[in-house]
Amino acid sequence: MKKWLIILSRIEIVLIFLVIIAGSVVRMSGSGMGCPDWPKCFGHLIPPTERAQLDWKPNTAFNKKQIIIKDEALYYANEGFTSSNAYNPSNWTKYTKHDYALFNPVHTWIEYINRLIGAVSGLPMLAMFFLSLFLIRKNWRYFVLSGAGLFMLGFEAWLGKLVVDGNLIPGSITIHMIGALLIVAILLVFNALLEKEQAKNLAYSPKFKLLSGIAVIATLIQIGLGTQVRETVDTLQQAGFARDQWMDNMDIVFYIHRSFSILMLALNIWLWRQNRIYKLGFWQWNPIMLVLGLELLAGIILAYFDLPYFAQPLHLLLGSVLFALQGHALIKLYLHGERRVIPIS
């Protein structure tokens, strides 16, 4: 049973990272409103591929809640019906949750794939929840953690609906991202508990433990600041600023985000060095430094080359992986660490 739970938790972690990548691509491409409704897309389970599919047509069957675009506005069918030769306004109600009434097939399908990945990500978590019921007497933590993960996935889906209904409400994107990282943290704890019997003992000092926790929190804050910078870019884009003008019109959040990265680099180098010199046993710190270096490189490319498209999802993915590696090391420290007097400088 534990073997299957370990496999499912690892699959779920990979799927959550895919959700993060897909969400970033949605933001980068401006596809957030590619589907104006939720959970369907223009009232369809499988979204349209061309604008003509969203026009009213005579002698055509329409399903309940199916959306059409008419007079630059969205309308949905009150009930399932077959249209006559003339348009009948009584069959339709104007969609008033927002006034976004454009159709771009590329944006629609990017957003649809994002939602599809999100839906698939719920399957392993659901399986983990039910399997953990069989181990509830042996360790109730499995049930609690899988239940918390399932709840967070539901919360993320609900928040996604609010984001769509509110036409990308400022701030909600950041909350959406932090929620995804909390799911990753829950899964890491879940996986570490399952592997506790096979884990090797690790060493740490109080200072190393404290700063490891601060490093995780700092990365979470930095990711939150980064999503706020992304929202600033959206605002500038909507205001009509050209791409080469975005960096010249950033607000204070960008400069805090940029400067904070220097402090993060210093902190993580210190932790990596202590782990290496005193052989504390945390394998995560070598890949942490690699990922952090790539993350900083992606940030430099974004800042000095007018935010190229490819670097945006890469920057977010690397930040998420950094958080996962740091979080994994911290969890291992708490579950398998052994306090030791270490002459840490």
Omega before 89 cis (within 30°)? Answer: no
In this model, does residue 18 exceed pLDDT 70? yes
DSSP string, 163-221: HHHTTS-TTHHHHHHHHHHHHHHHHHHHHHHHTGGGPPPEEE-HHHHHHHHHHHHHHHH
Closest CA to 272 of 284, 256, 259, 257: 284
Closest CA to 75 of 105, 106, 36, 39: 36
Provide the pLDDT for residue 343. 60
Query: Inter-axis angle of helices 2-29 and 172-194, to 10 degrees?
Result: 160
Provide the pLDDT for residue 137. 85
Using one digit for the tens of pLDDT, what is the confidence trace for 181-205?
A: 999 999 999 988 888 756 667 888 8
Mean of all residue pLDDT scores within the chain: 89
Q: What is the DSSP letter of 51?
A: G
Helix ranges restricted to H, the chain: 2-29, 105-132, 140-165, 172-194, 206-238, 252-277, 285-304, 311-336
Which CATH number describes the domain made up of 36-103?
A: 2.10.10
Using one digit for the tens of pLDDT, what is the confidence trace for 150-186?
A: 999 999 888 877 776 665 565 667 788 888 999 999 9
State the architecture of 203-345 in CATH terms.
Up-down Bundle (1.20)
Provide the pLDDT for residue 339. 76
Alpha-carbon span 321 to 14, nearest angstrom:
10
The pTM assigned to this predicted structure is: 0.86
Cβ count within 10 A of residue 40: 17
Q: Domain-by-domain residue ranges, the chain?
A: 1-34+105-198, 36-103, 203-345
Provide the pLDDT for residue 81. 95
238 pairs with which residues across the strands? none
